[in-house]
Amino acid sequence: MAFIVTESCIQCKHTDCVEVCPVDCFYEGPNFLVINPNECIDCGLCEPECPVDAIFSEDELPPDQIQFIELNDDLSKVWPNITQKKESLPEAEKYSSIKNKFDLLKKD
């Protein structure tokens, strides 16, 4: 099972998780990160690093976040790999507690 980045990451894009990943399986979009499920080794190091609790093991994914399994897989094939920590998005704190942000996801 892979780990999945979920909706909480949208408009925040904290990269603390990227820094601890031993296999560099994170990919970066304009306002969201994804994990390539074929590269993830299910080590779980990334999950506790996320300050907005956006990362879940695929088998513990909340039911309303199931769509993010396919989204992580699809977007990790087109977005560039990220291997180092960067600054979070400027309004990350504002968006960290907002729910239902899927419509804000930028795929290009």
Residue 107 counted as domain residue: no
Residue 53 counted as domain residue: yes
- Classify the phi-psi angles of 12: left when phi > 0, otherwise alpha if psi is within -120 to 50, otherwise beta: alpha
Residue 94 counted as domain residue: no
Instruction: Give 13's pLDDT tier (boundaries 50, 70, 90).
Output: very high
Average pLDDT over the chain reads 96
pLDDT of residue 108: 86
| Domain count for the chain | 1
Mean pLDDT of 70-86: 98
Residue 69 counted as domain residue: yes
Could you give the CA distance from residue 58 to residue 41 in angstroms, rounded to a whole number? 12
CA atoms within 13 A on the CB side of 104: 17
